[in-house]
Structure 1
Amino acid sequence: MKIVKRLFLALLILIILLAGSAFALPYLFKDKLTALAKEEINKNVQAKVDFNGVGLSLIRSFPNFSLALEDYSVTGINEFEGIPLATGKSIGFTLDLMSVISSTRPVEVKSVTLEEPNIHVVILKDGRANYDIALPAEETTTDTTAETDYSNVLIQLQEYSISNGSLIYDDRSLDVYADARNINHRGSGDLTIDVYDLDTYTEVGSLSVEQSGITYLKNAQATLSAIFNIEQSISKYNLKDNELAINDLRLTADGFVQLVDDDIDMELVFKSPQNDFKSLLSMVPNAYIEGYEDVKADGKFTLSGEVKGTYNGDREEYPGFRIESSITGGNVQYPGLPLGIRNINSQVEVNSPGSDFDDLT
């Protein structure tokens, strides 16, 4: 009986010690992680990076360690002075606990979570972009001492996510403005190996796109479910199972995109698996509104195309593309209106063999 009591007492003490450690460890290493976060970020960017607090937890992701930068901001300098590139409620990291404790191992990052991020991309007419904030390699602070080596960060991502984000894309060189709100995204895969599948899902609650004063999308809803096969050593991104939905229109694609030096090589084909004219109607700005489901529309619709070649903005080199679309016997009748539109028929084919748009037909 005494042995049982002693074992029980020892077990109770062990549980208390473990629980105490779970609460104490985050605070023991808070200063180290706070200093590491600020140092690693600020020494490698041309921007003003700030955050109001650091959240630490061992309970939330045990046996890993959680670190969150709260109320963060990244603000431009020089020609982008005062323009926020990124702000957000928090950006959280799941870290390998032993790598945090060790003084001889880099801190391993296993997952990243962005909560309510707001991204504002600005590209000037001369092509300079506010997101180009990484210091050139020769300007980054380098120290070969062992102490500096210990502070390195090792990216070992298994998953990442974005919750309730927003994005403004203001490209003044192309006169394109896009506004995406209520963005939710998640991705998972073994990002630590050279070739892996990245399984992603994205939804956008409101998407608006304008170019040169023409509105192409207004408050559209979008989702993308896609699996990418990624070959990291050659920077090649292959499309596998995927479906893009914009309002009621659905598209699938196949092919790849590859980064080669300053070039972007691509070979993509896409099509709409639907044959429903009403799905095309949903793309018309102000058409996909409350009551859209009561709109009477019928007819056949097809859409397919391909993009093949190399993009290089400096050389003004663009890939060739082909788009084919048709409408047959389209009819539409909005509720409450006395007349509808009937017998809509069209056949459109656009072909551009390469960079010279004078050859576009």
Structure 2
Amino acid sequence: MTTPEGEPGDRTPPTLSPPSPILPLLRRIALTLLWLVLLTLLARQVAHAPADVLDRLGKARPGLIAAGVVIYALGFAARAARLNLLLPPADRIPFGRAWAVSGATTFLLQVLPFRGGEVASWALYRRVLGTGWARAGAVFVLVKTLDSAAFLLAGLAGAAALALRSGVPVLGGATAVAVAAGTVLLVLMPRLGVPVVEAAARRFAARPRLARGLGELAEGLRVAREAPGAYLLAFAGAVAFLAGHFAALTLLFSALGLTPSLPALAFASLASVLSAAVLPSPAGTFGPMESGFAAGLALEGVPLALGATVTGAVHLLTTIACGVVGLPLLGRRGARDLSPRP
């Protein structure tokens, strides 16, 4: 990532002292082995599943699949608005390009191995915004923080609803309180978060990557603090994307013969995001995301093999939708057109 002190006009990648090549290699080998174990367990579950599990894919309803994919792609319009609202008015980009970059970055995060999607997304933000590495990093970290917080709050709300419905009111009530408190903190984050994040960056100075990320988040929060109304609308845009996300998932799962409730979809989405974050894989998010989502659906009684199989198909469809939305920036012509501003 970038150094916190990088100037906005910097046109060259930040220089970092080269780390020892052994530790990153060992880490990737370990993550690959964990991913292979996870993939083996998933394959074993599917192989021993009842015959009707795979039959569901053959009986898919094309109309619902098409509707789900279209709604999912249209949902990135909300993320386009969210991106522009987090930028100063003079730096905002055309809506179509903001829509494309929202889809392209999501696609890169899904398909590139390990953490490659984050680096590629950061570079794409720099090219689209025409800024230096530090400014692009600040925008990317703020966008990711806002989207992750929205997913977290929605997932916790789903967990609260599932707990209340399952006869565990204490857990459900405590989770609901956590959601309310998290929402308030997210609203106040630009005003209260800058000194906290800066202090955390100093505290973790011995871990350069984490410290740089915190420094970039602090820079993004400073911009958000200057326009609190735009920040709140950007948060509303992140929530609006989730509404389209859940509507699309409902249609896609229904097309494949599953009808999970909205709380189950919300909690399973959070579980999938967390599992993909904890276990980066050589296949992007494929593998960990299916495992997390299937585990979330299991709370509603969906068998693990069925949940993993259907989730894999849905994941593939939504990833294709992201790629189509981001195609203007992912293709060669789009890459040539993205030159930095003078």
TM range (shorter): under 0.3
Give the TM-score normalised by structure 1.
0.18
Q: Which structure has the larger Rg?
A: 1
Larger RCO: Structure 1 or Structure 2 (Cα < 8 Å, ≥ 6 residues apart)? Answer: 2
Give the TM-score normalised by structure 2.
0.18
Specify which structure has the higher proportion of helix. 2
Specify which structure has the higher proportion of strand. 1
